[in-house]
Structure 1
Amino acid sequence: MEETAREDAARPTGPLAGIRVIDLTSVVFGPYATQIMADMGAEVIKIEPPAGDNTRWITTGPVPGMGGIYVNVNRGKKSVMLDLRQEADKAALERLIATADVFIHSMRGSAIAKLGFDYPAVRAIRPDIIYTNCYGYSRRGPEADKPAYDDTIQAECGIPYVQGLMNGEPGFVATIMADKVAGLHALYATMMALFHRERTGGRGKGEGQEVEVTMFEAMTSFMLVEHANGAMFDPPTTPAHYHRAVEKNRRPYRTRDGYVAALVYNDKHWAAFIDAVRPAWASAEFDSLEKRARQIGRVYGLLGETFLERTTDEWIALLGELHIPCARLRTTDELFANEHLATIGFFETVDSDQGPVTFPGVPTWFSATPGHVAGPAPLLGADTEAVLAGLTDDAPAMAGARAATK
């Protein structure tokens, strides 16, 4: 008999095998971070209120409460349903914390403290815990406890502004970038804290700590990698944006029968392109990267006129021969049939109670401890009984230690 995906997930092989994560996050920011932990072998126990994570309901799926976004970012986790307004359920969470390596939440600071699970309270139960806060804004600033979502954080960190420089009208990018970028920050920050614990003695002996990851600060750092530009200097040498990135002609080139993305950028690529295509406008005024950078809008415009002269297939063939970066424009649906991704086995299909589910797989590779899609997403509360019944014998005693400190 074939093993089920959940049985497969019970024997993780990734670099985080043996790490237990208590996950009180919702929507995408926190769940994306813990989804990667699960794929890398961690046991992720998702604590959900009786109504469940809101993300269960915002997109469609084969059954109610199993929308596509929820299923993707909560794959391989265990769902434990607890009403933390009830003392018995709070005691159950305390017993779980006593067995954990990581506690991660995305509630506002005042809310998690009111429930009795801020860092001092959790540390009293498990002194070596890694405690990760996922906030909208840092608690150290005036916006502490201000609610935040992807759209508002995109606005705060300047994404609609730079989109407006390019398109003439402010706009969001068509992906929930702030949630996902912040989720990656939460992941690496938690892993760094775990690494420090290992260096200082490991589980039970090493130094735990509190970690704070915020959407606004993470996205500001992300945006200013290139857009800080000359504004970093005193006095500033340019406004705070990277001119090439916001140039209105920076877009896929229209061809005779479609579109192609291409970057004829460095001097080697430029010389090869000019030699092969021989456009009438070619001249010494464009023969160095520095010269082209100073008039990048004009360069893009001239290239745009030239790309109209051939078909997409012709450009793909020519630019491929010249080793100039290029790509066809693909839809997101086409990714599921992409030859490269199929060859490397990127997508993984697992069985679930709702039938087979094909997930985008693990984008990183380890020679000794490979990760994999940890399994299907759980139905609400599906693992409550099994997880709570499996608590170690010393968990109640450790939880009791917290009561003694009050």
Structure 2
Amino acid sequence: MPSGPLAGVRVIDLTAMVMGPYCTQIMADMGADVIKVEPPQGDDTRYVSVGPVPGMSGVFVNVNRGKRSVVLDLQTDPGTRALRALLETADVFIHSMRARAIAKLGFGYDDVAAINPGIVYTNCYGYGRRGPDRDRPAYDDTIQAECGLPAVQQQLTGEADYVGTIIADKVTGLTALYATTMALFHRERTGEGQEVEVAMFETMASFMLVEHANGALFDPPLGPAMYPRTVAPNRRPYRTSDGHIAALIYNDKHWNAFVDAVRPPWANESYATLAQRAGQIDIIYGLLAETMKQRSTQEWLDLLRELEIPAAPLNTPGALFDDPHLNAVGMFETVDTPYGPVRFPGVPTWFSHTPGRVAGPAPELGADTAAILDELGLAVDGVAGSG
């Protein structure tokens, strides 16, 4: 039985790709009954990467674990009737269709609230409906570009680049998660359902401006919208005599400990305080880079950790599966599935009374259609567009 903090919550998940499914995957791990509604061809993410069987790519399996899959053709009357019946039983409805498309199907907020007034209805959009871009399609790459990430990378490396992860999808998925659970908390207190909107562009604009708003926050502006430390050209992993190391010798405590232990010849009073160093941060990074070349990675790790200065080796994503700390805290869970054992990266949070856990395998397409419709007292015929 689910034991997480969302045990007893039913989520009807009409999302696809990564943004919405990542949100609902976490809800499933936290105990929610997540019913994934898919079209007859399935979520496109089933087919975007390698997998043990067709339609079960690694990306899909990870962000849809622990859910139940029901196939409904929402272009047909039986399909739409089945979704309405599901919504009557739900606490949350979350979708990632554009506003006009979901309204055309008859499942806009007003339609769904008429079926279930207490429902929390979460829209996951590219752009918020109150703006002129509301009907534009959006993907992670285009949102990265619009929110300024490639421009920041260009400041840092000289090239306009995307970052090497689908950060807009994942940050927006996390935002949808907290927005939805906040609405559930409000309903718990008041009994009142509501509509929630989470847009990729607005989410990533807010995310980027946390530090990069900087001097542009003020009226009149006191400087450009850019945080100098993170775009300093010399801000990169330090090359050592035999590899690389990441380290941040930043605040006064860490700086003084490093200088006292290493005695670099360039250390002087012009670098004595954090404010002084922040004003010439790229010079500082360059000086430290030259010093780091003088010892091995392990020598630096031993010294910096002894001094309690943040330092780490450079891992690959694959190396995380063998990381001693992650394995000690039980980060990975192996789940037996119909397509073989899967070692999932597990729940990164800890609860003393209501812990979550990997909710189970990802469903094969439509695996739960008959069982779910039977729960509702409905026939399977015609819901997937056949018969």
TM-score, normalised by the number of residues in structure 2: 0.97
After the TM superposition, which residues 83-98 of structure 1 pair with which residues of structure 2 at under 5 Å, given as runs? Answer: 83-98=73-88
Distance 1:373 1:360 in 2: 8
Is the CA contact 1:99–1:392 (under 8 Å) kept in the aligned structure 2?
no
User: Does the alignment pair 1:72 with 2:62?
Assistant: yes
Distance 1:338 1:386 in 2: 40
Q: 2:125 maps to what in 1?
A: 135
Q: 1:350 maps to what in 2?
A: 335
Q: Alpha-carbon deviations, 1:2-51, whole Å to 9, x = none?
A: xxxxxxxxx10000000000000000000000000000000000000001
Q: 1:3 maps to what in 2?
A: none
Helix, strand or coil at the partner of 2:159: coil
Count of equivalent residues: 378
Q: 2:348 maps to what in 1?
A: 363
1:234 deviation in Å?
Answer: 1.0
Say which of 371, 385, 393 aligns to 2:370: 385
- The code of the aligned residue for 1:375 comes to G
Helix, strand or coil at the partner of 1:174: coil
Is the CA contact 1:164–1:171 (under 8 Å) kept in the aligned structure 2?
yes
After the TM superposition, which residues 208-357 of structure 1 pair with which residues of structure 2 at under 5 Å, given as runs? Answer: 208-357=193-342
Identify unmatched segments of 5+ residues in structure 1: 1-10, 201-205, 394-406
Distance 1:141 1:331 in 2: 40
Q: 1:400 maps to what in 2?
A: none
Identify unmatched segments of 5+ residues in structure 2: 379-387
Distance 1:194 1:270 in 2: 46
Distance 2:64 2:177 in 1: 15
1:392 deviation in Å?
Answer: 7.1
Distance 2:310 2:159 in 1: 29
Q: Alpha-carbon deviations, 1:115-135, whole Å to 9, x = none?
A: 000001101110100000000
Q: 2:381 maps to what in 1?
A: none
Say which of 97, 107, 110 aligns to 1:117: 107
Distance 2:377 2:248 in 1: 57
Q: Alpha-carbon deviations, 1:45-85, whole Å to 9, x = none?
A: 00000010000000010001000000000000000000000
Q: 1:53 maps to what in 2?
A: 43
Is the CA contact 1:99–1:391 (under 8 Å) kept in the aligned structure 2?
no
The runs of at least 4 consecutive aligned structure 1 residues that moved more than 2 Å come to none
Q: CA RMSD in A?
A: 0.8
1:238 deviation in Å?
Answer: 1.1
